[in-house]
Chains A and B, each alone.
Chain A
Amino acid sequence: MADFETPSFREYPTIPVLQEGIMNNGGPFVAKPAHNEPLGYPGELVDGWEDKAVAKLGDLASRYRSLQVFLDSCVKCGACTDKCHYFQGTHDPKNMPVGRQDLLRKVYRRYYTFAGKYFPKLVGAVDMTKEVLDDWYTYYHQCSQCRRCSVFCPYGIDTAEISMAAREIMDHVGLGSKYNNEIIVKAQTVGNNLGLPEPALVDTLEGLEEDLLDDTGLEIKVPVDVHGADVLLVTPSADFFAEPHIDGLMGYAKVFHAAGISWTLSSYASEAANFSMFIGSYENMKKQAERIRKAALDLGVKRLVVGECGHAWRVAYSFWNTLAGPFDFLDPNYPVPQHIVEFTHQLHTAGAIKFDKEANDDKVLTFHDSCNVSRASRMGDKPGGQYRLPRDLLRASANKFVDMPRDTIFESTFCCGGGGGLLTDDLMEVRVKGALPRMEALNHVIQENGVTHMAAICAICKTQFAKVLPYYGMGMDQIISLHQVVGDALVLGAPNE
């Protein structure tokens, strides 16, 4: 399958012995000028990048309190060292959260602290060299920005912030990753990560409507660019074509149909994902968020609902109001934005939709909490709603549901291994190895409780699991969309007016 070994399941939790440099693989494919320049970055590594990188670091530290405080505050207590899924799966000490942070911190200390300027050896400060830059490129692309470390740090130091800053610095000297930057350019020009133009999108959605008609015998619509619809649904473009995502999209369509709420997709803003977050670029993230604002204004909708996507929900929930707000032109009776799970949950609570649980009796379900939903956003009006609401829906639409062990779910959830802009084939080794803790937890409930399927609410998680499950001896079809489960149990055509 590949030129690396899939890690084997551990009998009981163990902390790996360090294997320094084991993952020093040079990082993902480097972005070409065509991927960098449209985003405002130099095409390739610029002359004098050393000084420019150091200056950018200082600039970012002066604009981001998180970066400034996190670079100063670490006491090297070691609490985070065993918390990263990439460390657990690879044993490389530079994949320990503090090990990863220190790659940047040692440069910060060298140029921006008294101790590092005058006593570099004493505090482990180093010059900005090619070797350091290579380490940055390699190891900041082995971080999925999942924030699990921030849950366990006594100062809340979030390695995601450091890794985003590092990528932003690298982009500013012309060293970007092809996967991320190419996708961002597509999203900013065509409107989605796939580069799917409007006619192709319309065509795809018509095909979906035919599938829905075949499945249900009902004319369930998947509308696009409908002016005056109540709801604009913004969903990751993977929902339009990938498995098992597409079944989730059909699930959303069924919910809208059953509830009788008019809705539309937008061909201009046909992407919920916002990869600019992965490269730490406020400006590019804002550009992408503004597309959605514009689509909502142009279509004259009343509500904004976001489909199943982890980091997209983080950007939508936590950042949209900042980046593209205020959304005072939308109906103030609903939160802006709303997650599709909140939307469906509200309808179910109000009795506007009904489920036939038996429809899912062929499955024993578990649920994968996506990092960005769990640790970077919320659903509902109470903290922790992001854990409760999706489980409520699964329990309401299926008879058999079990959770994975407590230390692998909720705020302690393990990343799928493919988040944060790593979902590319050139990073397959780190993706497979990083999935180890989640695969172990899933295997546990498969063995103990006969779990057959794991539901998720993130496009990246779904793609990643479909790819890595077979490496661990499980089936790629064991990962499904939450709204597939919901859609299968939904009683259609029930009176709901």
Chain B
Amino acid sequence: MSFLSILYAILFYAATILLVAGLGRKIAQYARTPAPLKIPTMPAPTTQTGVVLRVATEVVFFRQLFKSNKWIWLFGWMFHMGLFLVLARHLRYFTEPVWAWVVLIQPFGKYAAFAMVAGLAGLWGRRILVERIRYISAPSDHLMLALLLGIGLSGMSMTFVSHVDIVGLKAFLLGLMRFDWSHSLPSDALLLIHLLLVAILMIIFPISKLLHAPGVFFSPTLNQVDNAREKRHLAPWAAGLDADRAE
């Protein structure tokens, strides 16, 4: 293994640990924190099945965002769906043999990158051009878009412009996964940039606004059943207060 390979190997082990542990910690925190009151945004489903559908509709179609602002919805949805397909396509670098469905979506995954990058550009354009959104943007909001755009563009360059030793990359990655460190990372500049940016993204995921990904599943306004009258809802810390009820 070359020095560079060792560096990247360490980087990716560290990034993976930080991503999984950080995200696990936040998810545990969200799950542990009680929701003492029933606060679904109405009208809300009256059954648990209805709630699953509601949250699924939000996660897949961004329903409330669609209602809210068609431009943000268009760019945001293009980006996220593009990213989803691109990520799915990337599974081919981590599986041997490659799963049939991953082979099947390969062409879609390749071109979805354009949607992803166009969506990001649209979002960034709005962040700069629309006064209200400029006002609420911190430097990190711009950097986040730059980072994602950097990942998208460097990745696309490797797919469509200047091919890299993808077979060598796959051997390296499978090696990392199997703790077999005999394969070196190909040293194409584009690839190194792409991987570095991805590692940064993985590291900052659990300490940034990217927490909206687990957050949406825990949002009480979306995931609560409208049944307050039928079923008494009581948080553990609030239950203690019933003890001093004067009757």
CA distance A375 to B34 in the complex (A): 22
Q: Is the CB of A99 closer than 8 A to any CB of chain B?
A: yes
A78-B133, A318-B38 given as contacts; is B207 within 8 A of A73 (CB)?
Answer: no
**CB closest residue in chain A, given B67:** A152
Contact B44 A78 (CB under 8 A): no
Q: Are A78 and B228 in contact (CB under 8 A)?
A: no
Determine if A260 is an interface residue (Cβ-Cβ < 8 Å).
no
Count of interface residues, chain A, beta-carbon cutoff 8 Å: 75
Looking at A34-42, A120-128, A210-218, A395-403, the stretch in contact with chain B turns out to be A120-128
Is A15 positioned at the interface, with any CB of B under 8 Å from its CB?
yes
- Asked whether any CB of chain A lies closer than 8 Å to the CB of B163, the reply is no
Docked complex: A310-338 residues within 8 A CB-CB of B: 317-319, 321-322, 325-326, 335-337
Question: A384: CB under 8 A from chain B?
Answer: yes
Q: Is the CB of B33 within 8 A of A63?
A: yes
Report Cα–Cα, A70/B218, bound state, in Å.
10
A115 adjacent to chain B (CB < 8 Å): yes
Chain A CB within 8 A of B195 CB: no
Contact of B212 among A155, A319, A378 (CB under 8 A): A155
Knowing A150-B221, A383-B43 are in contact, say whether A335-B229 is a contact too (CB < 8 A). Answer: yes
Interchain CB contact under 8 A, A150 and B41: yes
Q: A297-B247, A325-B232 are in contact. Are A83 and B131 (CB under 8 A)?
A: no
Judging by beta carbons under 8 Å apart, are B131 and A17 in contact?
yes
State whether A151 and B64 are in contact (beta carbons under 8 Å apart), knowing that A322-B38, A383-B46 are contacts in the complex.
yes
Taking a contact as CB atoms under 8 Å apart, the answer to whether B69 and A79 are in contact is yes
Q: Do residues A153 and B226 form an inter-chain contact, with CB atoms below 8 A? A: no
- Cα distance, A75 to B64, chains bound together (Å): 15
A78 and B132 contact, Cβ closer than 8 Å, known pairs A158-B221, A282-B238: yes
How many angstroms from the CA of A386 to the CA of B29 in the assembled complex? 35
Q: Mark B116-139, 1 if CB is under 8 A from A, else 0.
A: 000000010011001111011111
Contacting residues of chain A (189-240) with chain B, CB-CB under 8 angstroms: none
Residue B246 lies at the interface, judged by CB distance under 8 Å to chain A: yes
Interface residue ranges of B194-247 to A (CB < 8 Å): 204, 207-209, 211-212, 215-216, 218-222, 226, 228-229, 231-235, 237-238, 241, 245-247
Expressed in whole angstroms, the minimum distance between the Cβ of A69 and any Cβ of chain B is: 5
Among A155, A157, A335, A382: residue with most chain B CB under 10 A? A155
From A73, A150, A151, name the one whose CB has the most chain B CB atoms within 10 angstroms: A73
Q: B65 to chain A: which residues have CB within 8 Å?
A: 77, 79, 152-154
Q: Which residues of A contact B238 (CB under 8 A)?
A: 282, 286, 322
Residue pair A411, B219 in contact (C-beta under 8 Å) = no
Chain A positions 138 through 156: 1 when the CB is less than 8 Å from some CB of chain B, otherwise 0: 0000000001001111111
Binding site for A on B (CB under 8 A): 26, 29-30, 33-39, 41-46, 58, 62, 64-65, 67-69, 72, 76, 123, 126-127, 130-133, 135-141, 143, 204, 207-209, 211-212, 215-216, 218-222, 226, 228-229, 231-235, 237-238, 241, 245-247
Which residues in A have some Cβ–Cβ distance to B below 8 Å?
15, 17-18, 20, 61-66, 68-70, 72-83, 93, 96, 98-99, 102, 113-115, 119, 121-124, 147, 150-158, 161, 282-283, 286, 290, 294, 297, 317-319, 321-322, 325-326, 335-337, 374-378, 382-384, 386, 411
Closest 3 CB pairs of A and B: A73-B215, A124-B138, A383-B43
